[in-house]
Structure 1
Amino acid sequence: MTVQAIPLHLSRLFPSAQHQHTARDLGSPYALHQTLRWAFPGAGQPDTLLPDGERLLWRREVAADPETGEAVPALLVQSVTPPDWGALNARDPGYLSGWEVRTLDLRHALTPGRVLHFRLHANVTVRRVDERGHTARHGLHHPDEQLAWLDRQGDRHGFEVLGADITGTGRVRTRKGRTTITLYTVAFEGALQVLNPVALAGAVRGGLGHAKSLGCGLLSLAP
């Protein structure tokens, strides 16, 4: 089983606290996703999707400001397409106070049996059928259910969870047009063992769970 040689681009962005759109975007996952799209080809064109094969994943986090060293809000963004954060800043001057980009190659990192540290912020839900036969997604609120959901993701995507902590939970409401979307999110951190490198590489590129365009599903791996 050989992992396909598709490099991933991992960006850490620092939105400026002084910019007028920062508070709006940090409060609305949908608005933030639309802003991030400006770093990729075709943004702003009617009915234009992201480039073929692209799955733009992102996660809010706290990181050290590269200039001051202070802990500040940051964004971790993963893409297949090389991003042009300068284009975003040119469109919205001063939106980003800084950014860092590095390239990941999964071919050598994912080998059967290897143990890796992971971090994941996910929309943890299941689809259930009601008495009328209608299906809908429901958030999982009990830690045992949430950890069982994570184990099932491992079964589907080529890894075994060796141990995991729930480091945070939340409920986020965001609007997409006239529709209000509620996200039930869980932050996991722990260790996993690689079972199927190809399947796990697909999960890293494509994300886990639902609401991937709304800041959920980015699976981060480290030695």
Structure 2
Amino acid sequence: MYLSKLLVNTYSREFRRDHADIREMHRTVMSGFHNLPNDSPARQSAAVLWRLDGIHRGFAAYVQSKSKPDWSRLPADYLTEAPQVRDLQPVLDAITPGRRFAFRLIGNPTRTIPRLGNPKSPETGKRTHGQRVARKKPEEQLEWLIRKGEQHGFVIPSGRNGQPDVSPSPCLTLTGQKRSEDKGTITLEPVRFEGHLIVTDAAAFADALQTGIGHGKAYGCGLISLAPPQGR
């Protein structure tokens, strides 16, 4: 696995286009993976996850992937310096049961509201999915994260105040245009989670680290970043 850090030039016309349309940002990220097989979806083939973090006077894009990326196809003025790419194997090797990490995750906490009558699709004859809506209350967002931890091999420990040692904070709403054959827009209301976690199942957590957590993985959600724990 590889992690790329891309320091973005906020004056780049292409970046401003991407920042206004999350699907265009997805396309730009995937331009670093142009030698992928055609028999499966490109993002899944390379296990690509990404996140855009605000930093002092700009943004840094973090892109994680199974394949080593080639960023030479980015527009000439897209970055302010050369991409930084590092091997994540040492991080994967450090995942053991009971290990504590500081983490950052931009997640897409949602819940599904059943459609009235749960009608069948006229094309497939199958029941249609309900409408996915954002969880906007902090307690609902924490509940979502704790449940994901149960699924993916980690728990959120308690902090000094006895509450879960994690802080959820809202991010800017992400929007974009759907593919030409579809109608409407893409809208996500992501949440940034920062705090500590403890690994309970090394295999399940390693899989989550590589494949991401939750929905919206093509649009900047689901990537977990780990660091040594902070003062306890």
TM over 0.5: yes
Q: Are the structure 2 counterparts of residues 126 and 112 from structure 1 closer, same or farther at C-alpha, using a change threshold of 3 Å?
A: same
Match of 2:65 among 61, 72, 79: 79
Q: Higher mean Cα deviation, 54-63 or 189-198?
A: 54-63
| Deviations 1:38-97 (CA, angstroms, capped at 9, x unpaired) | 111347x9998427742211111134xxxxxx64211011111000112x23xx322222
Q: Are the structure 2 counterparts of residues 31 and 47 from structure 1 closer, same or farther at C-alpha, using a change threshold of 3 Å?
A: farther
Q: Are the structure 2 counterparts of residues 122 and 107 from structure 1 closer, same or farther at C-alpha, using a change threshold of 3 Å?
A: closer
Structure 2: 5+ residue runs without aligned partners?
Answer: 119-127, 158-164
Residue aligning to 1:116 = 101
Q: Report 1:105-144 matches (<5 A).
A: 105=89, 106-133=91-118, 135-144=130-139
Q: Report 1:1-40 matches (<5 A).
A: 8-40=1-33
The one-letter code sitting in structure 1 at the alignment partner of 2:131 is: A
Instruction: State the secondary structure of the residue aligned to 1:132.
Output: coil
Work out whether 1:104 is the aligned partner of 2:78: no
TM-superposed CA distance for 1:113, in Å, is 0.4
Taking the aligned partners of 1:150 and 1:51, their CA distance within structure 2 comes to 24
The one-letter code sitting in structure 2 at the alignment partner of 1:60 is: L
The one-letter code sitting in structure 2 at the alignment partner of 1:103 is: D
Instruction: State the secondary structure of the residue aligned to 2:13.
Output: coil
The answer to whether the 8 Å contact 1:42/1:50 transfers is: no
Q: Which runs of 4+ in 1 moved over 6 A?
A: 45-48
Q: Are the structure 2 counterparts of residues 143 and 10 from structure 1 closer, same or farther at C-alpha, using a change threshold of 3 Å?
A: same
Q: Report 1:155-170 matches (<5 A).
A: 155-162=150-157, 163-170=165-172
The answer to whether the 8 Å contact 1:51/1:81 transfers is: no
Work out whether 1:220 is the aligned partner of 2:225: yes
Residue aligning to 1:67 = none
Q: With structure 2 as the length reference, what TM-score do the two structures score?
A: 0.81
The answer to whether the 8 Å contact 2:3/2:64 transfers is: yes
Percent of residue pairs identical: 35
Taking the aligned partners of 1:176 and 1:100, their CA distance within structure 2 comes to 31
Q: Which has the higher strand share?
A: 1
